[in-house]
Amino acid sequence: MQNGPQHTGTGDLRVAVIGGGIGGMAAAGALLARGLDVEVYEQAPKLAEVGAGVLITPNSLRFLERIGLGPALAEVGARISDGSTYYRADGSVVAPILTSDSQGWNGMYGMHRADLLDALVESFPAQRIHADYRCVGFTQDESGAHVEFANGERAHADVVIGADGINSTLQRYVVEPSTPVNSGSIAYRGLIPAQRLPEWKQAASQLWMGDRKHFLVYPVRRGELINYVAFVPSTRELAESWSAPGDPDELRRSFEGWDPVVTGLLEQVETTHWWGLYDREPLTEWTSGRLALLGDAAHPMLPHLGQGANQSIEDAAALGVFLDGCGPAHADIVDALAGYAQVRRPRTGEVQAGARANGRRYDSEYPDLTTRDSEIVDSVTFRRWLYDFDAEAVAAAARERLQSSGIGS
């Protein structure tokens, strides 16, 4: 099944997207929607995501709907709406969680990551997705870009998009690889069938905040599953793994004495997984000639704003604007990719910083919790700035300005 406008991908510009995760497939879909010749190369034997949740917020949903994915996401997502709430650890209400943009449009879904990726994959021609292609090298010259893979194959394109994640192979061809910044926390995550929690608040995201810990819960997969993420402090240097097995009893002990709603949910946990939380300082460069970075390869961020996937999708929207109508000449591509980076870097830098600040709020790193609670109430302004953003429109305006000044024309 394919959704949205269908193109054969026979445009003049050949694009190789390295990485078939959410960011890579969003970029591929954005470029295909503009008629570009796109191929996707994924290092795993098949395109798949871990069994975990992701929030899709209005700033990315508006673009996904434009490229025809609205019905597919509505079918597999769980709408997050009124009743979403911030709490103190004891269950005292702090503030509502914003789930709409400034116009009142509720554009938020809780989604299983695999369901989101499947929707992106199914909207893209299967013959243009190449699995088991691990990137091991990159070169470029005036005539084009060339990617080498561990299986001995090579790809040739006019543009290469590095959407290969937080441990990007392609990043070193743009800038010196960045050093991971350990947040001092780990996160346990898992899924519980909703039928085992019949009293659970439906269609809502809920977040409890305590001493150096916080606990986030929201529904996914049409509300059939409850996704939880528990953030706890750790001095261990844990891997950036999404699938390392965790200890349910250790998780339960971490939240003893919290709101009975939290401890009751944790009683239902049979298996859990953890991952170490890291981000990176903002990169000084995102592009080099015909190569551009996207998503976690360009701006890995902590999950405390729920914006990792959403910012990758924003990147995809902006990239489509700057490459639309671009010819294969080296100078044209350099200008187009530089414009993409110029419009995206300030935005993602603010979101990275905002995610760090929000983590400190959620973990109650304040001598007076009334200050923390006041900041949570006031954070609705920042959330509106996040959710009102139209990456496509902003990129189009920026491209027009750059062209009027003689850049990228």
Residues with a known catalytic role? 218
Q: Which residues pair with 245 in a beta bridge?
A: 273
Report d(CA 104, CA 101) in Å as an integer.
5
* CA angle centred on 31, ends 408 and 20, rounded to 5°: 125
Where does residue 199 rank: exposed (0-12), middle (13-18), buried (19+ CB within 10 A)? exposed
How many Å is the Cα radius of gyration of the chain?
Answer: 21
Report d(CA 276, CA 401) in Å as an integer.
41
Residue environment code for 305-342, b if the CB has 16+ CB neighbours within 10 A, otherwise e: bbbbbbbbbbbbbbbbbbbbebeeebebbebbbbbbbb
Please choose, from the candidates 396, 388, 328, the residue with its C-alpha nearest in 3D space to the C-alpha of residue 160.
328
SS3 track for 51-93: CCEEEECHHHHHHHHHCCCHHHHHHHCEECCCCCEEEECCCCE
Report d(CA 129, CA 117) in Å as an integer.
13
Report d(CA 323, CA 315) in Å as an integer.
12
Please choose, from the candidates 178, 168, 175, 173, the residue with its C-alpha nearest in 3D space to the C-alpha of residue 285.
175
